Structure 1
């Protein structure tokens, strides 16, 4: 395999611009005239990128010859950070003929490498006066070194992939003749290949035996139709047909025979309604239908009679005819975007199970008839039911303006205490919200509740905000921005009354799919906050141009304030940079007076933690808000 020639690798303009921004920040933070990145060539070091300070005598394209043992060359030779506080006091550097610039008196530099270990050059800063370069400056230099080398890795790996692709292309061409000789064997295998292609094509969304939607695709499509129906005064109905003797047919006559019966049911039933219809095979022995109709154009009695007539007929099988034992469950959507609508498929299945157990051929879903033991998935069904019944409790924790102790906004968390399951952990709730239908239902519940609460509390304290945290699955909903616009308009409050938090880890695991939604949300005036910040997922270049206006620094940094000088220095540097980028900063997990004292040194504007108050009910929070408002008035 061909090796990558790092001397010939070019740095893309986007990465170069991010280096330029980084050097500007580094020079401003360190209060030095020169910050630069040099690139190693065969006989010299070239100035590849540098800051634009008016006092900077160095320009891109300047060169430093090798063999003169100047600062940058020494940094490369020792392969370690080089600190020269005052070259005039150091015998090693007093007689240096070319100290990079005539006025250079102090130097701080660090080597840069390609991922294969080959030197790229140096990252360094120069000063015209004595400079011992504080620990925070050295640590920031190391952080930027890691960032640059990570981008060098991307460039290197991209070139490596191109070389691999080139070699693969050559191999493919060499195999063309061999593949031509295999055409005869491929013809003999065509029948088997077609079957495999069919399975591959349908495996994601379809049942391979019948060609109908599978369970997952059916649920997603049904929920999409439900969301549209709520906006257009339409009604959605689901009919779930369970073949109780399907398993016996499959054992006695084979799976293909049952596949043919499912197809015959679909063909004989035809179109059950005048509008959209979905046909699905959620389980091997079942077939289901989702119908969309206008509220003034529905005839469920006729549909049921048709289903009963068709399923009472004999069905053709290779050995003759067979009669089916079919039980039907039905579920119909509720008006006004009821969260219960997101569980129509589960409800229809439950109604079919109840019909089978009671001996009735058809049953409509009824909450009072559904026993806990018959639920398809107890945790999921109980959660949907709790959302519908307003049994999910929201708790609120204040965010404090440290300088004056004023409550600035409220972070929202959820509690679920179920009468049967007991207190359900946040981890279990988080796992439930990986399912789109449950994630959407909880998202809509929290957003509408928070908008209502924000309206009430802004009457007590103007400009107050309510913050909710949404995961990637909830933000992936294409209709989220539309619903936010409608609900804010309905409540007659501005977007700034609401704050949406997104974790740094989830954002950058799903950045490409979430970017459009985040920009739409930001355009509504809603504040976007990047929370759990500080673990290296977000680059400073991204933050500079992102829709986020606030960051919440992860509580792990607060926990280590009293015990780690390195964490304090790094946190101080980090906060200074975010301030320069125009971002509000919130420190989380503040639990003691000592931690608060450190935050005052950092000039942190906002904080959150048990030191001020833990999560509390709406009633308790409101009482504190009233008290603070009364104090301010006096």
Structure 2
């Protein structure tokens, strides 16, 4: 009968090697749990397992973040990990055909990300793994991550090997000495008088004494002065016929070499009787490198690699400890203003330089703080003693001034600001998560107030947050319940008011609040995971409707706004092609409207995506042109087919010379780059006359028709067999 999991070619030898460790079905061990907790912090994963692979199951010697002690080998990820030498990385188990139907993926613990490093016995048998598990997929696992996981596995294996030698020594002295002859650990036996009776080659290398020098001589010459008294006390117990206090234990002590140098060592001691006398065995391992690796990994686990500040894990522990001591505290939550623009325009090297400098400024300004930490991205936190609000305000003002001072990168000046949220303990909470949450809510209000400022938490902010979460929940159900609807606003030719097309606009038929325009919900929706799915629905619904209306107006064109999430999904060209195919709408009859923040990333992937869309034959309109930072070079680089003049320039275009100049400039650019131009927000005949006089070919706005539902727009369309007249009275609907 074939197995549903792979089997190593040396399976029986591997099982024999595992048996020697006698660790399967043993009780939890703090040494292994400590290393698993280290790995959890180091890699920021909720679950870490030290798994031993038996014939038909895997046993977890350590299981941090998981209640299970074992699982069937048939569903084990680790059964696959032991088939290779390096780390097995599964970025997303739900998309891996080997694991997509695995019950550990479909059910608790809902594994998505997995990384497992084999535990390799000295003979080469892979007896198990150290593995990392997360319920969220991860796109990367770097070479440094692989090395660090390998170091954790080596530390685990180091402890397992000591246990194996202990077991072998206790069961067979002859076999023990055979193994000891080739062991990489120093193995020493002595009698009750302390005279050495066995000294292997590794002991020669470690201490510098040959076997000839040591046999029948006292072992005290390898014991440094720091624990000589303990050594003599233990020998005295043996002479009295008593068992050593340190027997059957592993302790860290110093070893003394022949050249007089000391080194940190791990001693695993045991005693046994030979006739009427006691014998002593010691397995000694130099732990200098182990200590170095552990210190390095613990440092990585508690410090942010870029800024050298404490990281999120270290911050949590510090805040928890400080609150546990019932001390009055102040928490600052800081977020940089405009940091994304630095990465987008100058690159991540510039962004990293700024983050490092911010860390230095924070440490200098907050020298009396309990903790200054970086939580990730451009988020920092500071913890102070005391909870005086006035002192906190003064400190916030000083930090804003310090962090907002200019930065420099490659000779270029960089300006970045900071917003700060403040929470006080115990007034605002005694719970670590709630207190940081209160500071974050205050930070959110600070940013909404215009950035470069600070806000102290007030209970009303939490009430607003609760209401916002309830609104987000309603918004999630809105799409599932079919509460979204498309309205359509006419687009006309300015020369003769002929209908040329329409812009599809989203509306929400809220069950309690009535018809809502995007201003009420679009910012929240764009941040939701469902945004791309909603965007695809809008594409398909608008294309289907436009295909029907082209029977009445053969040249009818539909304009559809895109969410940024649709660009991030990387499937946008396929989604557009699918919408066109399902509806039968010609590609030339679809125009996609794009706002600047999508393409200002100015990367090759975005440029390629734009080219792929144009290759489909659809139009690309740059929405709200003139209100942002789009440069002429970007107009040349990206294949736009139309510029949309923002309503803010149209409102006073006939009376304001600056607005008139901007509109004329955009019309000139459109003509120069071979792009069409359309003006939005046209509400008066005077505005229309200006646009016609200056050669703007198309327009939309309340002068021609408000956004209206599909059935009303169809009636409106049927009246357009002749040039249209002012349509303020037609098909009211909600505002655009």
Give TM class, smaller chain: 0.3 to 0.5
* TM-score (norm. length: structure 1): 0.44
Considering Cα pairs closer than 8 Å and 6+ residues apart, tell me whether 1 or 2 has the greater RCO.
Answer: 1
Structure with larger Rg = 2
* TM-score (norm. length: structure 2): 0.38
